[in-house]
Amino acid sequence: MTGRAPRTLALAAVALVGMAHVGSPNTYYEGPAGPYRIRVIVRPPGIVPGQADITVRLLEGGLAQSVLVLPLRGGRPTALEPPPDTAKAVPGDPSVFSAQLWLMEGGAYSIRVDITGIAGSGMAIVPVNSIATRRLGFDTPLAVVLIGLGAFLLIGALTIVGAAARESVLPPGEEPDRTRRIRSWVARVVAALLLGLGVLGGKRWWDSEDAEHAASLFRPMRITTTIADSSDTRTLRLAITDSDWIEHRYRPLIPDHGKLMHLFLIRTDQGALAHLHPVMQDSSTFLASLPPVPAGRYRVYADIVHESGFTQTLIDSVTIPAPMQTWHSSDPDDAWWEAPPRPLGPDRFSGLADGSAVTWLRDTATLAAGRDVELRFAVTGPDAKPTLLEPYMGMPCHAVIVRDDGSVFVHAHSAGTIAMASQLVYELRQPGDTQWGRLGRRITEAERMGETMAPAPSDPGIVSFPYAFPQPGRYRIWIQVKRQGRILTGAFDANVGPPPAS
């Protein structure tokens, strides 16, 4: 049975802004830089080349004497790289530094952050996608000024041509005769035609450049999602149908948190969620056993990481029929959630399936679009005491943030919104990694070792995520933790207001 149907208008709008996540272009990283703990926010320009805004906040380790930032196209410095830029301290807060960096090419970048301070020196690598996602338009006042200047120059040029044809060879004080006046008008008409052809040629050149830029805007790879039933199981099949993938214009995939793909099914009313990890059947097809989620129309978001360090979120939609009662998960880390009978509402408390609970530690400030926040949650056991969390795919917790219309989707964890595999690409890449798959095997081994050596959270039961909601509206936040070998999911609703006034 197939559940393919035409995409909704909302999903079509999502496709216009897809990249490493959907509708949330900024990159957030929180983690160590030697003896310091830092939070880095990268706001890409949306055009290539363009300037990215970098903000570095020191959370632990003391004050910094200098903060240097350097964009690296391949992840490692070369003789052709420019010297790093010095981030400037933000007035009024000595722990925050800002800088602007040029991203000159499209593709996978990393921002290297070097910190020197009272605690010593440290370095962190923040992976970033450099892609064109928007067209810059003219402001109306600027357009009016340019049109006025153009008209002034055009009239001035015609006036000069006419005067030159009429009076340039006349003796001083002599009036031009009728022949010269006719010659002047003929010269103006010819000049007007030539200038008109020049303007027309310029417009055609401009339109050609604009069309080329519009064609170069990043779009996620096309996929097709279908549902198939067998005697006792239901399988989700995701096929990458994009010609760029089929023609090998993308590097192979590498595992992120040990998985080649993190696939999220979210019902359009946000009443159900499934977090799956499909198994690759062939170079373009992924299969996953479908849990018994309730029937309905679902948005599909699939996170992948290429061996170059470039990340994508593939998007689609699928209709799922009435659930089957049996489910044999194709991956031990697969999980699903269904909304309780009552609406979630604005509660800061969410009960979990094993009797434990998660509480949103919100402050009193109103959530506003564009405002940086730290989303903090406390997990308590059935006895209402803080509980120890087990690593879930190498992290204390995973979060999914989705706007109710599907225009924003983010998969985050305690290190922010970056893909850990991308960070490992830049840390582990060697000059000899020219054979596809070689770097991926090294990253798989590094992630496996990281899974077994994942440190316990310093504050038991407390998890946090740096983020800023990109648009006003209604959001749902899912929190997934692992406790006593069981994956647990809690959900919260958030109403985000418009950006604060400057």
CATH number at residue 103: 2.60.40.10
pLDDT recorded at residue 436: 64
d(CA 42, CA 477): 22
- CA geometry: angle at 220 spanning 216 and 224, to 5°? 135
pLDDT recorded at residue 473: 93
230 and 199 part of one domain = no
Rounded to whole angstroms, what are the CA distances from 398 to 127, 334, 401, 412, 491? 19, 13, 10, 6, 12
Residue 501 within any structural domain of the chain = no
Domain stops at, among 99, 130, 161: 130
Residue 53 within any structural domain of the chain = yes
Q: How many domains does the chain have?
A: 3
pLDDT recorded at residue 8: 37
344: number of Cβ within 10 Å? 16
d(CA 363, CA 372): 13
HEC readout, 186-215: HHHHHHHHHHHHHHHHHHHHHHHHHHHHHH
Instruction: Report the SS3 class of residue 143.
Output: helix
pLDDT recorded at residue 423: 85
264 and 314 part of one domain = yes
pLDDT in tens, the chain (502 residues): 344 444 433 333 333 344 568 888 899 999 999 999 999 999 998 888 889 999 999 999 888 999 999 998 765 555 566 788 999 999 989 999 999 999 888 888 889 999 999 899 999 999 998 888 888 777 888 888 988 998 999 899 999 988 888 888 788 878 888 888 888 899 899 999 999 999 899 989 988 988 887 887 888 889 999 999 887 788 999 999 998 888 877 888 888 888 999 999 999 999 999 999 999 998 899 999 999 999 999 999 999 998 888 999 999 999 999 888 788 888 999 999 998 766 655 567 788 889 999 999 988 778 999 988 899 999 999 998 988 888 898 888 999 999 999 999 999 988 889 988 888 888 777 666 666 667 767 777 766 665 444 445 557 788 998 999 999 999 999 999 999 999 999 999 999 999 887 6
pLDDT recorded at residue 247: 83
pLDDT recorded at residue 20: 65
235 and 339 part of one domain = yes
Structural domain boundaries enclosing 68: 26-130
Nearest in space to 441 (alpha carbons), one of 247, 249, 260, 240: 260
Residue 19 within any structural domain of the chain = no
471 and 418 part of one domain = yes
* Residue-wise DSSP of 371-420: --EEEEEEEE-TTSSB---B-BTTBS-EEEEEETTSS-EEEEETTBSS-H
362 and 477 part of one domain = yes
Characterize the bridge pairing of strands 373-380 and 398-403: unpaired
388 and 476 part of one domain = yes
pLDDT recorded at residue 174: 82
Residue 21 within any structural domain of the chain = no
pLDDT recorded at residue 214: 82
pLDDT recorded at residue 77: 54
Domain stops at, among 182, 216, 250: 216
> Residue 20: left (phi > 0), alpha (psi -120 to 50), or beta?
alpha
187 and 287 part of one domain = no
Residue 372 within any structural domain of the chain = yes
> Residue 243: left (phi > 0), alpha (psi -120 to 50), or beta?
alpha
pLDDT recorded at residue 481: 93
Domain stops at, among 216, 242, 272: 216
- CA geometry: angle at 87 spanning 82 and 88, to 5°? 140
pTM listed for this prediction: 0.83
At residue 289, φ and ψ (nearest 5 deg) are -70, 130
pLDDT recorded at residue 24: 87
Residues in the chain: 502
